[in-house]
Amino acid sequence: MTNSIEVIKPFVQALSDESITNVQIIGGVNAIALCHPDTIIDTKNKEVIAPLSLNLPTRRTDGVLRDLDVLVHSYKDSDISRVKRLMARTVGGELDPSVFGFKSHEVLERQLIRPFGYSALKTFLSDRYIMSDGTSVKSLYPFSVPIDPESLETWTLIVGDMHAPIPNPAMSVINYTNRSIGGIRPKDVDKVELLSKNIFSKAPKLRDWAIEGPGWSQVQLGLLLRSLTPNKRHNDIFGVDREILPLSKVVETDAFMMPEVSLKMKRRIIGSVAIKAEILSRAESNKFISFIFQKYFERRLDSIIENK
């Protein structure tokens, strides 16, 4: 079976040839490299050096193509489309591509104007947004936290002669904790625990970077999401020993996007969000439902998955 690393090499080379530097490969090869016991994490040079033997088949055990997720540090359609064209040319159909960037603050404003409208109700996944003042936030309605620019720093994954742009390894952990309104997806729990253990044992400073430095606001978003599904298994990935907040307290946090609305409205909003989180968590815990969704429906629901 084809190794994903060989598939993405031409894409990584094309990025270099065209001097595109505002791109990071998220998950996939990045995650498997960080989980490998022989991988070296060089914090001084911001490099993750994986062994030549690193292998990630392009298909999962169920036969479904693996994703190739790429974050573009831009909100401009032209920048995102350029990376999409490069990926289509170099990767073809050997991986399931997903290229995404920052979104406009107008998307968040639609959610705020109509808390129970379509835009708000269909939001199950977090995204990064550029605000009108030029700052950026990571948001999963009704929560929003500021993004520290340093948290967007790019590292390099080295596998033989391939040098791929990736996020700070600590951000790879953080992203898993706040991606979904249901928290860490059941299928990812073991991987995230191994990922965090491997990273923080090899580079303890990265844990400090996450909980005391640039990553902290986004760690907090993940902690808030844990509070939405009180009956699921909660993982203290960063060892911060933070309590699971009752929903009545969640709406009083700085991350709640509508502090000015009435207490009654706050309760209605957080109640509806908690129901969504519980439904999603239960669905993702069902292996059959997860398989059917991933194989037949995931790419047909881009407006929901990509918060369009």
Q: What is the pLDDT of residue 290?
A: 52
Q: Residue 148 above 70 pLDDT?
A: yes
Q: 283 pLDDT band (50/70/90 cuts)?
A: confident
Percentage with pLDDT > 70 across the chain: 91
Q: What is the pLDDT of residue 296?
A: 46
Using CA atoms, how far apart are residues 6 and 153, in angstroms rounded to an integer? Answer: 25
For 286-304, how does the pLDDT look when each residue is reduced to its tens digit (9 = 90+)? 665 455 445 544 554 444 4
Using CA atoms, how far apart are residues 4 and 27, in angstroms rounded to an integer? Answer: 12
Map residue 133 onto helix, strand or coil: coil
Lowest-pLDDT range of 24-33, 176-185, 287-296:
287-296
Token pair of 267, please?
A: 């309760």
Contacts of 291 by beta carbon, 8 Å cutoff, 6+ apart: 62, 64
* Domain containing residue 59: 4-305
Alpha helical stretches, state H, 18-114: 29-35, 77-90, 105-113
For 2-22, how does the pLDDT look when each residue is reduced to its tens digit (9 = 90+)? 999 999 999 999 999 999 999
Q: Residue 180 above 80 pLDDT?
A: yes
Domain count, the chain: 1
For 96-110, how does the pLDDT look when each residue is reduced to its tens digit (9 = 90+)? 999 999 999 998 998
Token pair of 256, please?
A: 């709640």
173 exposure class (CB count in 10 Å sphere: 0-12, 13-18, 19+): buried
Residue 101: DSSP 8-state: -
Q: Kindly state the greatest CA–CA separation across the chain.
A: 58
What pTM does this model have?
0.89
